[in-house]
Structure 1
């Protein structure tokens, strides 16, 4: 019963946040940012354990599967554009993935984090299921990885628009690669707000980044001695 009520609570908060965002479309009022913050606060105040919440919340996770399949529609719609820019998308995402892995590892080393924590945050820029798998392979803690993946996604939708304005990035291909490579599914959701093509490029970039990181992270961390 508690799980079902938590499910309704999450949906209700998201619905209200969505309405508020339509009225005042500021990035800090994004439903993807507001909903988890409000839910966490309510759970802490009410003393509801995460296990009880997850009894209802797991159904939202299951809905990610058909939602992912739905990406096939814009992929088909923009097939010619994707084919035309395939080379630059692949090179850009590969470069971004390598930079994400390297910069995270170097920052963790500079902060004198232990190897387990370092390996946990290295795959933070890719989608959660694959990030947790990569974390386990390279000796990290998957649950910690999941937390940093969420933080990275939320940071992406906050900082991403600022980067676009600061560097005057107006191309839909570039915008899509930026959000998909750096902020996975959360960034892709933001990219679709900009345009359908930007969101499509972001979804492709998200998938490529996950594949590249799955292959590259173990190799690069091995070369770095971790």
Structure 2
């Protein structure tokens, strides 16, 4: 499942990593063995992030087709470097520090957020940087969504004495995204579909994620018709 993140490894990162391994850096190469990742939502978010990092450590591999494409782009890459890229693993050392130590614009603890300092070999950090940013984007959006749902329940209990049951029902378009969303819901004490829906009931929403199109008067009916036709053609192509 977490191998979905591997696809976010850019060709340019593979090329830069290969040059670093071979000691033939370009002037624009800026490989570093450290990555600083702010943790904007407190200790619960930190715990969720560390759980996902453990999964990523187990599953990260540089995609073989991208290694082949990188070598086609840069024929100077040697057989040994190609083998090293295929064998590369993400095995970081992670430390926590106040974000204020790196960003003076934020408050220091206890009121301010922390950051995780991720250390690994420079070429490995170059390879995993984009997948890590993708992971952080998904986690941040999912965590905020779960937090808002949790807050609805808290406010409902305070005002009415009861609260709705809110549970996560994943879309089927991405196992990674669905799992990260479910983890965030679970971390907030909310239910997830497999624990909430009756046995035999559909636990996945197999529809595509919705895109709402809204226009303001005056409305051009021709443009709306064109938008609808284009969307139908796109969905037909996905079937």
TM superposition score normalised by structure 2:
0.21
* Higher Rg of the two aligned structures: 2
Higher relative contact order (CA 8 A, sep 6+): 2
Would you tell me which structure has more helix in proportion to its own residues? 1
Which structure has greater strand proportion?
Answer: 2
